[in-house]
Structure 1
Amino acid sequence: MKAAVLYGQDDIRVEDIAIPEPQAHEILVKVMATGICGSDVPRVLGTKAHHYPIVLGHEFAGIVAKVGTGVTRIGVGDRIAGAPLVPCHQCVDCFKGDFAQCQYYSFVGSRVNGSWAEYVIIPEINAVRIDDTVSYAEAAFFEPSAVALHALRHISFQGGEDVAILGGGTIGLLTLQWAKVLGARTVTVFDINHDRLELARKLGADYVIDTRSEDFKEQATSIVGAKGFGIVMETAGSDVTMRLSFELAANKAKVCFVGTPTKELTFDYKLFELMNRKEFILTGSWMSYSAPFPGNEWELTAHFLSKQRFNFLDMIDKILPLEQINDAFELYKQPGAVKGKILLTLGSEPV
């Protein structure tokens, strides 16, 4: 099969490798569409890959091509989205349903070969069926969509709040859509990229704010007054937005760090003191799973997408064949060149 194999920093080679064989309780998925995640960029262009060679890719959808022994729930020909986390299901955290905290996990597309290939192996339990009305391109968003919903569920979001989303990337725009579905009073997206802000507006943001504007804090105050935002979702992983979240948070707010930082982060004492004075709750959110595995986050994504409550297709920047994966990463080297999700396709069927 064709696969994009990472051999080292900025060294992806599309070549033929053996088609894997599903073992007991595993399925072989013919990949139809797979995404490039923001976390894949430092693995390819930096040194964040766990080992070499490796086939990356963990956002994917496809058709079940073969099943191993003991598989009963999923059949050949089923259309599915794949959950990439492979927890041990035996440790204390797994027994509590905290699969993302499993100490003995594997992960498709970072620890073991993933979906930047014609076929990928996953456990049967990791497959989420998709409705016939849902395209493979849309289903490739299941994983980041579940990440966004998991963060909102983690802070017990119940709607009726003014929500600030710091960062208009994939996770930020999916958090926006989930917040609207779940009944946010208003949603305001902050970013420095004009195209992302315009897309956020198209996807339902009540307000968008360019933080390059000198008066952006005054713009925020005009929306919620001096009280601030009751919910602040930091999705960029930037030191700037993480600090800004402390300023935008209302008294007794809930602040959630969803983005993953990639460099040192410092707070001066006056800024950090805001958490004490405002008594806001600060937490992080990691991955997208709950019990029963892979979780309600995945099932609700499938449900609301089938009801056409989301717009994933407008979040796609480019759709490229797998053979052009290096062209995609050339774009990531150019600041601002990638304005949305890049999907990779395999085969001649429409996605």
Structure 2
Amino acid sequence: MRALKLYGKQDLRFEEAPEPVIERGSDVIVKVKAVGVCGSDISRYAKLGPYVSGTIFGHEFSGEVAEVGGEVKHVKVGDRVAGCPAICCGQCESCQKGEPARCESLHVIGAFHPGAYAEYVKLPAENVIPIPDSVDFDTAALVEPSAVVVHGFYKTNIQPGATVAVVGSGNIGLLAVQWAKIFGARKVFAIDVEGERLKVARDVGADEWINPQEKAAHEQIMELTDGRGVDLAVESAGSPLTSAQVFALPRKGGEVLFLGIPYADVSIERFYFERIVRNELTVLGSWNAVSAPFPGREWSTSIHYMSRGHIRVNPLVSHRLPLQEGPHTFDDIVNGKGSYRKVLFYPEAK
């Protein structure tokens, strides 16, 4: 089969790979229909996060069941599915407590196990989730990032009528805008320095869009909320700068939810740090997309709202490409060539 393999820093190759085979009764082999590029893929490609040289890359995908082991009951050949890429040990203290997102050895396919930038991928049966006909394969390929976002929202105290600021209008931020509305937010503020991204944020439901290059984001938020601040601020940009500035956005007693991962040290000016203490903020970190019973309600809930059109992914997708264009696409993204948002690859010609 054809696949994208990561061999080293910015060394991604499109080449042949052996097709996966059933080895355990719980194995499921999925024919990949659509697979997305995640921000973590870009980081691993550019900076070499955890990986094994030559491993098939990628983890956000949907497809059709091609083969199942003898113990698999909930899906059959031909079923349309999404794939949860998280692999947990099941044995550590966190797993035993029903907290798989905190697993001591949690990783996703595409690092130590063959991933989904390929014609076929193999997963344990519990990682394979059926999707209804009302959810197309492109949408289902984004169930995983949607589950990442709602995993974080479940940690918050957001109530209907709340105000929410989402920092960063990348793919995670655009999904966060939509989840904020689903959770009952009365007003959602999208914050980004790129006008085109803010336009997409507006398209998916943001009520106000703020460019901090015009005036500091917290000053604009305070003007728009009569000096109160928002109930919940979501950091989804993963920027060291915004990871500090986000603390100035919530009201007294408000919350900050971190979904983004800054790949550099975060220096916090006194003004921003004091907001944590003086405003008695609750600061929440969120990691991955799984809970108990595995893979968790994040997955079924994402599929539910996607099937009803409340989570829309088409506005997020900027490029739909054949898999063989992977190497130069990753090179373009890392080197700032072109205007990329969410990229979907197709192992089959469309």
**1:111 deviation in Å?**
2.0
Aligned ranges 1:158-177 → 2 under 5 Å = 158-177=159-178
SS of corresponding position for 1:275: helix
**1:28 deviation in Å?**
0.4
Partner amino acid for 1:5?
K
Where does residue 11 of structure 1 map in the other structure?
Answer: 11
Say which is worse superposed, 221-230 or 297-306, in terms of deviation: 221-230
Aligned ranges 1:227-246 → 2 under 5 Å = 227-246=228-247
Q: Is the 8 A contact 1:195 1:339 kept in 2?
A: no
Q: Is the 8 A contact 2:147 2:302 kept in 1?
A: yes
Where does residue 254 of structure 1 map in the other structure?
Answer: 255
Judged with a 3 Å threshold, the aligned counterparts in structure 2 of structure 1 residues 15 and 122 are, in CA distance, closer, same or farther, namely: same
Judged with a 3 Å threshold, the aligned counterparts in structure 2 of structure 1 residues 232 and 278 are, in CA distance, closer, same or farther, namely: same
How far, CA to CA, are the matches of 1:300 and 1:105 in structure 2? 22
Where does residue 20 of structure 1 map in the other structure?
Answer: 20
Q: Is the 8 A contact 1:331 1:338 kept in 2?
A: no
Is 1:111 matched up with 2:112? yes
Q: Is the 8 A contact 1:246 1:274 kept in 2?
A: yes
Where does residue 74 of structure 1 map in the other structure?
Answer: 75
After superposition, the C-alpha distances for 1:48-67 in whole angstroms (9 at most, x for unaligned) are 24221121111000001011
Judged with a 3 Å threshold, the aligned counterparts in structure 2 of structure 1 residues 130 and 262 are, in CA distance, closer, same or farther, namely: same
**1:271 deviation in Å?**
2.6
Say which is worse superposed, 5-14 or 200-209, in terms of deviation: 5-14
SS of corresponding position for 1:71: coil
Judged with a 3 Å threshold, the aligned counterparts in structure 2 of structure 1 residues 103 and 217 are, in CA distance, closer, same or farther, namely: closer
**1:224 deviation in Å?**
1.0
Judged with a 3 Å threshold, the aligned counterparts in structure 2 of structure 1 residues 76 and 104 are, in CA distance, closer, same or farther, namely: same
**1:336 deviation in Å?**
7.3
Say which is worse superposed, 169-178 or 269-278, in terms of deviation: 269-278
Q: Is the 8 A contact 1:159 1:179 kept in 2?
A: no
Aligned ranges 1:232-311 → 2 under 5 Å = 232-311=233-312
Where does residue 319 of structure 2 map in the other structure?
Answer: 318
After superposition, the C-alpha distances for 1:50-97 in whole angstroms (9 at most, x for unaligned) are 221121111000001011231111111110000001112233211322
- TM-score between both structures, scaled by the size of structure 1: 0.96
How far, CA to CA, are the matches of 1:263 and 1:21 in structure 2? 40
Say which is worse superposed, 12-21 or 324-333, in terms of deviation: 324-333
Is 1:337 matched up with 2:335? no
How far, CA to CA, are the matches of 1:9 and 1:49 in structure 2? 11
Where does residue 40 of structure 2 map in the other structure?
Answer: 39
SS of corresponding position for 1:347: coil
After superposition, the C-alpha distances for 1:121-147 in whole angstroms (9 at most, x for unaligned) are 111001111111211111000000001
Runs of 4+ in structure 1 off by over 4 angstroms are: none
Aligned ranges 1:50-199 → 2 under 5 Å = 50-199=51-200
Number of aligned residues: 349
Q: Which runs of 5+ in 2 are unaligned?
A: none
How far, CA to CA, are the matches of 1:285 and 1:79 in structure 2? 29
Judged with a 3 Å threshold, the aligned counterparts in structure 2 of structure 1 residues 306 and 281 are, in CA distance, closer, same or farther, namely: same
**1:217 deviation in Å?**
4.0
**1:239 deviation in Å?**
1.4
SS of corresponding position for 1:39: helix
Partner amino acid for 1:331?
D
How far, CA to CA, are the matches of 1:159 and 1:78 in structure 2? 36
How far, CA to CA, are the matches of 2:237 and 2:61 in structure 1? 22
Q: Is the 8 A contact 1:196 1:339 kept in 2?
A: no
Q: Which runs of 5+ in 1 are unaligned?
A: none
| Cα RMSD after superposing both structures | 1.5
Partner amino acid for 2:12?
I
